[in-house]
Structure 1
Amino acid sequence: MSPQPRVGRLPAALQGISGLIPFLAFTAVFLGLPLIGLVVSAFLITDPDNPRSKVFSLDNFRASFTGSAGDAMLTSLGVSLVAATIATVLGVLLTQAIVYTGSERLQKVTTVLSSVLANSGGVSLAFSFIVVLGSTGVLTSLFSLDETSFSLYSAAGLVLMYQYFLIPTMVMVSYPTMAALRQEWKDAAAALGATPRQFWRTVGVPIVLPAVTSGFVLLFGASLATHVSAAALVGGAGFSLITLKIAGALSGGNAAGLENVAMAMSVNLVLIAAVTLLAYLPLQRRSRAWLS
C-alpha cells in the first residue's frame, strides 16, 4: 500500500517561520496599519473646491521643510549631530579606560549600569537636570552659573542632558569590540617594532571603527527621536525641535489645522530612522566579521 499523505502539515517554506506568525500579526496590526495611516494622512489636504473632502497633494511635505517646521528640523539635526559626536568620543574613551583596567568586576558593574542608564529618560531625567543645573539649581547657585552664558533651557542644555543616556549607550555598543581586541595582536605588533600609536593606527582603529561608526549612527537616531525629556526641559521655553513641533501640531491650539503637516513631518522622521537603520546594520555586521 502506498503511504497516506499527511494532513495538516505546513509547507516546508512556512515551517521555519510558523513560530513568528503571532509576532508578525501583532507587528502588522500595531505597527503596519498605523504606519500606512500616517503615510496616507501626510498626503491629504482639504479640497479647495469642497472643504468637506480631502485630496492627495505634496503641500504638507512642502510645508514640513519650510518656515518654522523647517527650522525645527534643522535645529533637531544640529542638536542630534553635536550630542552624538560628543557622546561617541567620550563613550569610546570611557570604554577604552574600562577595558584597560582589566578589572572583571568593574566591567560587570559597567555593563549593568550602562544598560540601566541607556534606558533612562523622560520627565524624571529632565526634572533631575532642572534641580541640579536649572535657574535655581544646586550647582547653578554653588558655582554662580547664572552669571555665565550657559543656560540649561537651550541647545547646549539639551546636548548636556542627552549625554546622560547617550554615553552609556555608546559604552554598550563599543565595549564588546574594544574588549575583543586580542593581546596577541598587540604583542605581535610590538615584536615587529610597532609602537602603540602605530598599532592603533594600522590595526586597532580599522577594527573598532565600524563599531564606533554604527554607535554614532545609533546615538544620532536616539537623539533625534527624543521627545519626552526635551519637552519637559525646553517645551515651555518655545524651543524649536521637530518632535515638539509635531506634538504641538497634533495637540491643536495655535497649531490647529496643521495635523496633516505634522503627519508629513512624522514621515520625514520615519525616513530618517529607516536610513539610520540601513546604515547601522551593515556596520554592525562588518564589526562582527572582524572579530569572528
Structure 2
Amino acid sequence: MTLTVTRSDAPSGTDPVDRAADLVHSLHARPERRVNASFMGLIPFLVFIALFLGVPVFGIVLAAFRVADVNDPGNYVPSLANFVASFRGASWDAMQNSLQISVIAALTGGIIGLALAQAILTTRSKKLTAVVTVLTSVLANSGGVPLAFSFIAAVGNAGIMTGLLSLTELGFTLYSSGGLILMYQYFLIPTMVMVVLPTLAGLRLEWKEAAASVGATSWHFWKKVGLPIATPAILGGFILLFGASFATHASAAALIGGGGVPLITLRIDSGLAGGNLAGQENVAMALGVNMIIVALLVLLVYMPLQKRSLKWFK
C-alpha cells in the first residue's frame, strides 16, 4: 500500500513550494531594509541642508515678494514690484555687466585652461600631472581679499609689473572690467584644467593608433574622435567657469569697491548695507533670487554634460 501525503498534511515549512516562497520573500525584504538604513544615514545631511541652505533661501524668496504697504508703511504686502525694479535702472545694468564679464572671463579661462591641460598631457610626465592636479585643486578654490591685494601689488596703478611692462602707458588699468577678467583667471584657468584634464587623459591610446592605422592625421583624429568625446567636458567646464565668475563677490569688492564697475553681487551688497540704497533691501533680495535662478540653470546644464562626458570612460 502506498501512503500519499498531500500538501495540507505536510508539516509547516517542509514543503518545497513554501520554502521557495519564503526564500523569495526574504530576498525581496533584504534590499528594503538596506534602503531604509541608507536613508537613515542621510538624515543628518538632509537636516544640515535644510537648516543652512533651505531656510536662508526660503527667507530670501519671502523677502523678495514683500513690499511696504502704501496705506500702512508698517505692514508689508505680497507683490512683484521688487522683481520689476531688479530689471530696471542700475540693477539691470549690474546684471547685464555681470553676465558680460562672466562670459568673457569664462571663454578666456576655458581656452587657456584647455590648451594648458593638453600641453601637460603631451609631456607624458606622471609627476608633472600629479603636481598640476594638486595645484589646480588649491588654486581653483583661492580668492577673496588676499587675491585682490596680490593683484593690486602686482599690476595695480603702483604695482611692480605695471612699471616693468609700462602698462599705464598702454592704457591698462586693473580697476576696470578688463582688470576683473584678468584677476578671475587666477582661479578660472586652474578650474578648467581640473575639469578637462581627466577627460583628455582618458582618450585612449588605442583610439589614436586605430585612427593612424587607417591613415588619419592628428587633426582628423581630434576632429572626428577627440573633440566629439571631449566636447561635453569642455562645455561643462565653460558653464562652471561662468558660474564661478558670476558669483564672485569678495575679490571684486576688495578690488573695485562699490563703484567703478557695476556688478550684481556688489549691487546686492550695497542694497543690504543701506547707505545710498537705503530702503532697497527687498530689491536686493529679488536680485539674490535672480542669482539663484541663474545658478540653478548653470547646474541643470552642467550636470547632464558631466554625465555624458563620463560615459566614454567607464
Superposition TM-score, scaled by structure 1 size: 0.95
In 2 relative to 1, CA 233–245 (structure 1 residues): closer, same or farther, beyond 3 Å? Answer: same
> 2: distance between equivalents of 1:214 and 1:188?
28
| Aligned residue runs from structure 1 range 61-210, under 5 A | 61-210=83-232
Query: Deviations 1:125-157 (Å, cap 9, x if unpaired)?
Result: 000000010001101111221112211000000
> 2: distance between equivalents of 1:289 and 1:171?
20
The amino acid of 1:259's aligned partner reads: E
- From 39, 47, 65, give the equivalent of 1:43: 65
- From 241, 245, 249, give the equivalent of 2:263: 241
After superposition, the CA RMSD in angstroms is: 1.3
Kindly state the Cα deviation for residue 291 of structure 1 after the two structures are TM-superposed. Answer: 1.8
Kindly state the Cα deviation for residue 14 of structure 1 after the two structures are TM-superposed. Answer: 3.0
Mark the runs of 5 or more structure 2 residues left unpaired by the alignment: 1-11, 13-31
Kindly state the Cα deviation for residue 164 of structure 1 after the two structures are TM-superposed. Answer: 0.3
Q: Which has the larger radius of gyration?
A: 2
> 2: distance between equivalents of 1:93 and 1:79?
21
Mark the runs of 5 or more structure 1 residues left unpaired by the alignment: 2-10
Query: Deviations 1:176-232 (Å, cap 9, x if unpaired)?
Result: 100011111000001011111000000000010000100100000000000000000
Moved more, 46-55 or 237-246: 237-246
The amino acid of 1:265's aligned partner reads: L
Alignment coverage as a number of residue pairs:
284
The amino acid of 1:279's aligned partner reads: V
Kindly state the Cα deviation for residue 66 of structure 1 after the two structures are TM-superposed. Answer: 0.6
Contact (CA 8 Å) 1:87, 1:170: kept in 2 or not? yes
> 2: distance between equivalents of 1:66 and 1:201?
44
> 1: distance between equivalents of 2:96 and 2:174?
20
> 1: distance between equivalents of 2:64 and 2:150?
37
Look up the match of 1:213. 235
Kindly state the Cα deviation for residue 16 of structure 1 after the two structures are TM-superposed. Answer: 2.2
> 2: distance between equivalents of 1:237 and 1:244?
9
> 2: distance between equivalents of 1:270 and 1:156?
25
- From 76, 90, 94, give the equivalent of 1:54: 76
> 1: distance between equivalents of 2:76 and 2:174?
43
Percent identity over the alignment is: 56
> 1: distance between equivalents of 2:153 and 2:131?
27
Look up the match of 1:25. 47
Contact (CA 8 Å) 1:153, 1:237: kept in 2 or not? no
> 2: distance between equivalents of 1:235 and 1:34?
26
Aligned to 2:73, the other structure's residue is in SS state strand
Look up the match of 1:250. 272
Aligned to 1:55, the other structure's residue is in SS state strand
The amino acid of 1:27's aligned partner reads: I
